C-alpha cells in the first residue's frame, strides 16, 4: 500500500505542479506510474503464495501475469535506459551467486517490495521542488501532521485560500 500511495503522490505532484514540468520530472512521474502497475501485477499473488499452503495459479492467470509483468518490466527498462542516456550514465547490475531457498525468497521479497517502496524516497524526496510539490499535495488533502509532529507540513501560508499578490485561486499555480 505504501508503494502505491508514495508513487501516486509523486505522480500527482509532478503532474500538478508547473515547476516540475521538465524532462527529468516527467521521467520520474512516468517511472512512478509504471512502478504502481508493476508492483500490483506481482505483489498480491506473491504475498498470497507466501501465506497460503496452496501455491497455484490458473494457466490464464499465469499468462496474464507474465504478459503484464514482462511488458511493464520492459517499459520500465526503456524508461530507465532513456533516463540513463539522458544523464550520460549507464548502470549494469549482475548477480552470479546462488542462495539457499529461504534466503532466495527473502531476497526476492526484498527486491519486489522494498525497492519499489524506497524508489519514491530515493528519486524524489532529496529534491527541494519535489518536497514542495508533495507538501502542497498533503496540505490540499488536509494533512496537518497531528500533535506529535514538530514541524507540520502545512502552515497558514500553505493553506490560505485567499489569493494575494502573486497568488491565484489554484494551489498548483506559481
The predicted pLDDT at position 90 comes to 61
Q: Could you tell me if residue 170 is inside a domain?
A: no
pLDDT tens-digit profile, the chain (174 residues): 788 888 899 999 999 988 888 887 888 888 889 889 988 888 888 888 888 888 888 899 889 999 998 998 888 888 878 777 766 556 454 455 666 777 777 777 777 777 777 777 676 767 788 878 878 887 887 766 655 555 655 654 544 444 444 444 444 444
- According to the 3-state scheme, what is the secondary structure of 43-89? HHHHHHHHHCCCCCCCHHHHHHHHHHHHHHHHHHHHHHHHHHHHCCC
Q: Could you tell me if residue 28 is inside a domain?
A: yes
Q: Is 152 exposed, middle or buried (0-12, 13-18, 19+ CB in 10 A)?
A: middle
Model-level pTM? 0.51
Q: Could you tell me if residue 141 is inside a domain?
A: yes
Q: Could you tell me if residue 102 is inside a domain?
A: yes
Q: Could you tell me if residue 166 is inside a domain?
A: no
What range does the domain containing 50 cover?
Answer: 2-159
What total of structural domains would you count in the chain? 1
Q: Could you tell me if residue 173 is inside a domain?
A: no
Q: Could you tell me if residue 6 is inside a domain?
A: yes
Contact 16, 174 (CB under 8 A): no
Amino acid at each position: 500500500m505504501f508503494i502505491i500511495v508514495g508513487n501516486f503522490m509523486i505522480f500527482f505532484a509532478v503532474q500538478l505542479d508547473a515547476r516540475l514540468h521538465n524532462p527529468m520530472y516527467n521521467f520520474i512521474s512516468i517511472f512512478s506510474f509504471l512502478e504502481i502497475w508493476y508492483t500490483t501485477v506481482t505483489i498480491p499473488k506473491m504475498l498470497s503464495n507466501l501465506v497460503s499452503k496452496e501455491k497455484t495459479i490458473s494457466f490464464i492467470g499465469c499468462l496474464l501475469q507474465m504478459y503484464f509483468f514482462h511488458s511493464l518490466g520492459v517499459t520500465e527498462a526503456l524508461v530507465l535506459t532513456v533516463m540513463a542516456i539522458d544523464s550520460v550514465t549507464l548502470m549494469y547490475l549482475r548477480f552470479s551467486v546462488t542462495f539457499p531457498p529461504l534466503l532466495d525468497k527473502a531476497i526476492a521479497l526484498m527486491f519486489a517490495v522494498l525497492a519499489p517502496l524506497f524508489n519514491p524516497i530515493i528519486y524524489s524526496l532529496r529534491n527541494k521542488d519535489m518536497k514542495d510539490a508533495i507538501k502542497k499535495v498533503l496540505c490540499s488533502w488536509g494533512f496537518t501532521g497531528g500533535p506529535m509532529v514538530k514541524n507540520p507540513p502545512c502552515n497558514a501560508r500553505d493553506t490560505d485560500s485567499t489569493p494575494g499578490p502573486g497568488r491565484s485561486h489554484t494551489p498548483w499555480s506559481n
